[in-house]
A = this chain, B = another copy of it.
Amino acid sequence: MQAIAVKRGEDKPVIIEKPRPEPEPGEALVRTLRVGVDGTDHEVIAGGHGGFPEGEDHLVLGHEAVGIVVDPNGTHLEEGDIVVPTVRRPPADGTNEYFERGEPDMAPDGMYVERGIVGAHGYMSDFFTSPAEYLVRIPESQADLGFLIEPISITEKALELAYASRSSFDWDPTSALVLGNGSLGLLTLAMLKADDKGYENLYCLGRRDRPDPTIDIIEKLGATYVDSRKTPVDEIPDEHEYIDLVYEATGFPKHPFQSVQALAPNGVGALLGVPTDWEFEVDAGAFHREMVLHNKALVGSVNSHVRHFEKATVSFTKLPQWFREDLVTGIYDLDDFEAAFIDDDTTIKTAIEFGTI
């Protein structure tokens, strides 16, 4: 079968031939439909994660997949089920408490591999296998955009943590700010628009000039675009209002500090970006004091697990049809897979098609 991989010492994806995998006991065989591309893939290609599977000279890319079960192999799944795989798997030395209790997303470094990211092959191949417990069934109506379920699940988990942190008192947020207008930021903005919390005012921060397709989506969602070059995060209260929920998807380490200043009393900031080291001066006293005197919280969130994927299939149905169409700017065949990795100002979300139902 064909697969898209990055080879050791190279920094661009290539098509390779691999044997079709055989499912082990407890695993199902899945025929791949589509696999999304995101910023993490670009980091993997650039060597930023760098975890090749043991003894392998290549890593098959892709962690945002949707496929169709072709061999349930005695598991609870059925042939023809449309499924989305989760990303984390036990490490080579075996399972551990986090996997045993169904929360691999809470496992620390070294206690997991991530398919397509670190230590395990991803899903950009004609077929893949997975333990059935990590394959989440989705409705057939979601199959064409099922590669969005994984990124949506990332936000499900982050919002779950953020809301949990505010659950010991009566919290009634009315404003939310998404930092970052990439595909995850826009998905989150659309999810917040449909959120049960009933946000009245939504904001999304980027650094783009108009005309821009992401700004169009932001405004079509009824949200306000904030240009970070004109209005840094900590000036948003002056320009607009204090914000109850900040969702950070930029990986810019000034944002946690600026967010605490922009948060309304009792607000929470969810952090999702993964920056490298960067030392700079901050008013740590003001940060600390503001956290305390106004009962603010910061929660970090990484990855997601089965429950969040299941929630994501519900959230997916609430995303407007126009939004899904505008968000996905390209679906590419294997012949044209390089186009899916082009990241310019006209690209929002792309996916590679390996097959159809």
Residues of A participating in the B interface, judged by any CB pair closer than 8 Å? 101, 103, 105-109, 160-161, 163-170, 251, 253-257, 265-266, 271-302
Contacts and interface: CB of A to CB of B under 8 A. Distances in A.
A111 to B, nearest CB: 9
Nearest to A284: B253
B302 A293 contact: yes
A328 to B, nearest CB: 26
B295 A273 contact: no
Nearest to A111: B265
Name A's interface SS: mixed
29 contacts: A101-B170, A107-B265, A108-B294, A109-B293, A161-B165, A161-B168, A165-B165, A251-B288, A253-B285, A256-B288, A257-B284, A271-B288, A273-B288, A274-B288, A275-B288, A276-B289, A277-B286, A278-B284, A279-B282, A279-B283, A279-B285, A280-B281, A280-B284, A290-B300, A292-B301, A295-B299, A295-B301, A295-B302, A297-B297
Nearest to A101: B170
B266 A289 contact: no
A101 B266 CA distance: 15
A300 to B, nearest CB: 3
A357 to B, nearest CB: 35
A77 to B, nearest CB: 26
Contacts of A300: 290-297
Q: Please tell me how many copies of the chain the complex holds.
A: 2
Contacts of A302: 292-295
Given A282-B282, A296-B300, A298-B297, A106 B288 contact: no
Given A254-B284, A271-B292, A287-B253, A106 B265 contact: yes
Nearest to A299: B297
Nearest to A161: B168
A43 B192 CA distance: 42
B292 A272 contact: yes
Given A106-B169, A106-B170, A256-B287, 14 more contacts: A101-B170, A103-B170, A105-B295, A106-B295, A107-B265, A161-B295, A165-B297, A165-B299, A291-B299, A292-B302, A293-B300, A293-B302, A295-B299, A296-B299
